């Protein structure tokens, strides 16, 4: 019942993504960090190879075997996604987040969009076209962790909605062809008033006002978006009116946001694990070569490395469990929160330990220094560490009637 | 002339590959590599594509040690050839398996895209 053996397919995905990380991402990693962007020519070339950041590119659910016989294959998209993301994080997390494709905007469209919306928004990503991106805009100056506090408003008008508000820290928000934007139709309704809209680039009233300069993942575009009397047609309300009417009693748009997190948190966690592994592997190699083979330095180094290895393994197991639960269709909100909380924290810890072991060489223009800067955000985005603890606690105590 | 790739047998498809690569050897110049294709299911068989000094030669069976082996069904093979199927997507979904040097497989994909395959679609 429990197995940690990768299937042939999973092993293959791990190998090819690792190959890509090592041979395509790493060579431009430091330069992209310095430039603060991933070179356009690189993105075009990668797009032509058909490489995209999309959780739906992993088949398994609708797969039919060649001879036409119907074989029931277990869904494994979430597991393949975390296996691949760990390697991408190992390669370069900022470049990973910049790979063409729907990115974090994919899951909400996939899980809540109408068939027509899925077709319209997800079919634009093709290797025969220029590279394109999707984005996901939830965070605002006064609402991030507290999703229910969003202030961007959506006012119903003839044929659609008019959006007003500001979104910050939106990955690929400036370059995206469309952005899934969360807004409220009535703040007094709380979560029930939330709606998710797909706003397309070039829509009048929608603009990117600033790109953030950050501590880490500098090559990844982090945008501030502004909506000023921005008209969005009815057909871009994610899921359509019926979706919200059917769930009139439920948490509606809030649910779209939360469902997304159950899929994306394990992916973010696995990227953090990849970062930790990259720093750890580099440092392990250096300690093996450069450190004295006995004495207190060696023992101290071995201890730190053993801690790092333990943290990485533990984070991976939590993450795989969250992905496995999602694949077999079990609720995984608690596991998704736990793996994200743990992986985000240990990524930073492991990188810090590695920097200690490297000493002065790790401090200047060095990959481990960069990984350390890159790691911090993994403890923050897709829900801060504190929020992950809150989600976990809620899942634990709700059955006992205790509201955290 | 205008025949869909799926109407070709695997053997015929290989003849077309050889013909096209020989007619325009520019994209394969400087390559010295043996690709092996293990076709599974219907039309099962093993083929090798030998690229050396701008020359392309197709062999049946395994006369040489391959640098990179690709395993897939006949129909997927044909779709992959003309670009109806994305190699990366095929790989991610498990339709295509690769053994040996993965970098060579990726190279092959971008190499094939340099040929005009519209007449086979």
What integer pLDDT is reported at residue A79 of this predicted model? 92
Residue B32 C-beta-side C-alpha neighbours within 13 Å:
1
Is B103 in Cβ contact with A50 (below 8 Å)? Answer: no
- Closest Cα to residue B72, out of B97, B45, B91, B103? B97
In order of A273, A275, A350, A353, the CA distances from A301 in angstroms are 20, 20, 13, 9
What CATH code is carried by the domain that includes residue A373?
1.20.140.10
State the average pLDDT over residues B64-79.
Answer: 94
What CATH code is carried by the domain that includes residue B96?
3.30.1050.10
3-class SS of residue A148: helix
A234 and A303 inside one domain: no
CB-nearest partner of A63 from B93, B110, B113: B93
Most confident of A98-112, A209-223, B9-23, B100-114: A209-223
Is A57 in Cβ contact with B94 (below 8 Å)? Answer: no
Domain that holds residue A327: 254-400
State the average pLDDT over residues B33-57.
Answer: 93
A217 and A142 inside one domain: yes
Of residues B39 and A294, more confidence is placed in: B39
The count of domains in chain B is 1
A218 and A289 inside one domain: no
Residue A67 has pLDDT above 80, yes or no: no
For the entire predicted model, the pTM comes to 0.88
pLDDT in tens, A256-299: 777 778 888 999 999 999 999 999 999 999 999 988 888 888 89
Is B75 in Cβ contact with A60 (below 8 Å)? Answer: no
State the average pLDDT over residues A41-49.
Answer: 90
A217 and A270 inside one domain: no
What integer pLDDT is reported at residue A130 of this predicted model? 93
Chain B residue with Cα closest to A23 = B103
What CATH code is carried by the domain that includes residue A27?
1.10.540.10
Contact A104, A264 (CB under 8 A): yes
Strand B32-40 versus strand B97-100 pairing type: unpaired
What CATH code is carried by the domain that includes residue A222?
2.40.110.10
Catalytic site positions of A:
382
Residue A81 has pLDDT above 50, yes or no: yes
Residue A69 has pLDDT above 50, yes or no: no
How distant is the Cα of A58 from the closest Cα of chain B, in angstroms? Answer: 5
In order of A118, A218, A278, A337, A383, the CA distances from A377 in angstroms are 30, 11, 16, 16, 10
What integer pLDDT is reported at residue A374 of this predicted model? 97
What integer pLDDT is reported at residue A247 of this predicted model? 59
A371 and A259 inside one domain: yes
* Structure tokens, B45: 């068989």
Residue A129 forms part of a structural domain: no
- The whole-angstrom distance between residue A149's C-alpha and the CA centroid of its chain comes to 22
Residue A91 has pLDDT above 50, yes or no: yes
pLDDT in tens, A359-383: 888 888 899 999 999 999 999 998 8
Task: Give the A:B interface size as CB pairs under 8 Å.
Answer: 56
On whether any CB of chain B is under 8 Å from the CB of A81, the answer is no
What integer pLDDT is reported at residue A161 of this predicted model? 97
* Structure tokens, A197: 């809209």
Chain A residue with Cα closest to B98 = A12
Residue A2 has pLDDT above 80, yes or no: no
Residue B32 forms part of a structural domain: yes
Residue B64 forms part of a structural domain: yes
A245 and A260 inside one domain: no
Is B42 in Cβ contact with A13 (below 8 Å)? Answer: no
The count of domains in chain A is 3
A281 and A218 inside one domain: no
Q: What are phi and psi of B14, to 5 degrees?
A: -65, -35
What integer pLDDT is reported at residue A284 of this predicted model? 96
On whether any CB of chain A is under 8 Å from the CB of B89, the answer is yes
On whether any CB of chain B is under 8 Å from the CB of A23, the answer is yes
Residue B94 forms part of a structural domain: yes
Domain that holds residue B54: 5-113
pLDDT in tens, A125-134: 988 889 999 9
Domain boundary among A92, A122, A152: A122
Q: Please, what is the average pLDDT of chain A?
A: 89
A168 and A284 inside one domain: no
């Amino acid at each position: 019942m429990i197995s940690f053996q990768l299937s042939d397919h999973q092993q293959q995905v791990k190998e090819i993504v690792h190959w890509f990380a090592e041979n395509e991402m790493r060579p431009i990693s430091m330069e992209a960090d310095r430039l603060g962007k991933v070179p356009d020519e690189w993105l075009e070339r990668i797009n032509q190879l058909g490489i995209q950041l999309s959780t739906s590119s992993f088949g398994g659910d609708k797969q039919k075997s060649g001879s036409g016989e119907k074989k029931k294959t277990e869904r494994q998209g979430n597991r393949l996604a975390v296996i691949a993301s760990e390697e991408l994080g190992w390669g370069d997390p900022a470049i990973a987040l910049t790979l063409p494709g729907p990115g974090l905007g994919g899951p909400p469209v996939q899980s809540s969009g109408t068939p027509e919306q899925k077709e319209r928004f997800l079919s634009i990503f093709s290797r025969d076209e220029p590279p394109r991106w999707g984005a996901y805009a939830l965070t605002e100056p006064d609402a991030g962790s507290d999703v229910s506090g969003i202030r961007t408003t959506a006012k119903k008008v003839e044929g659609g909605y008019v959006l007003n508000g500001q979104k910050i820290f939106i990955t690929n928000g400036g370059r995206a062809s469309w952005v899934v934007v969360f807004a409220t139709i009535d703040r007094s309704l709380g979560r029930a008033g939330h709606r998710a809209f797909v706003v397309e680039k070039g829509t009048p009233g929608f603009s990117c006002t600033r790109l953030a300069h950050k501590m880490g993942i500098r090559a990844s575009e982090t945008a501030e978006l502004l909506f000023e009397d921005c008209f969005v047609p009815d057909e871009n309300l994610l899921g359509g009116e019926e979706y919200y009417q059917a769930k009139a009693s439920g948490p509606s748009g809030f649910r779209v946001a939360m469902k997304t997190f159950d899929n994306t948190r394990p992916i973010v966690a696995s990227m953090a694990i990849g970062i930790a592994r990259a720093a750890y592997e580099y440092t392990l190699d250096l300690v093996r070569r450069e450190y004295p083979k006995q004495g207190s330095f060696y023992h101290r180094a071995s201890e730190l490395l053993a801690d790092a290895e333990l943290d990485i393994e533990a984070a991976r197991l939590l993450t795989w469990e969250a992905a496995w639960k999602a694949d077999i269709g079990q609720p995984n909100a608690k596991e998704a929160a736990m793996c994200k909380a743990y992986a985000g924290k240990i990524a930073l810890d492991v990188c810090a330990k590695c920097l200690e072991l490297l000493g002065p060489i790790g401090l200047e223009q060095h990959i481990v220094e960069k990984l350390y800067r890159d790691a911090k955000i993994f403890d923050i985005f897709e829900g801060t560490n504190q929020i992950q603890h809150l989600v976990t606690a809620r899942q634990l105590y709700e059955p006992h009637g205790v509201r955290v | 002339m205008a025949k869909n790739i799926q109407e070709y047998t695997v053997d015929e498809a290989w003849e077309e590959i050889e013909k096209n690569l020989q007619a325009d050897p520019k994209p394969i110049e400087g390559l010295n590599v043996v690709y092996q294709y293990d076709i599974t299911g219907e039309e099962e068989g093993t083929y090798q594509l030998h690229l050396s000094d701008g020359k392309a030669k197709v062999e049946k069976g395994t006369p040489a040690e391959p640098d990179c082996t690709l395993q897939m069904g006949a129909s997927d093979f044909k779709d992959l050839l003309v670009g109806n199927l994305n190699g990366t997507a095929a790989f991610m979904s498990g339709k295509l398996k690769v053994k040996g040097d993965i970098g060579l497989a990726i190279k092959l994909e971008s190499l094939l895209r340099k040929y005009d395959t519209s007449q086979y679609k």
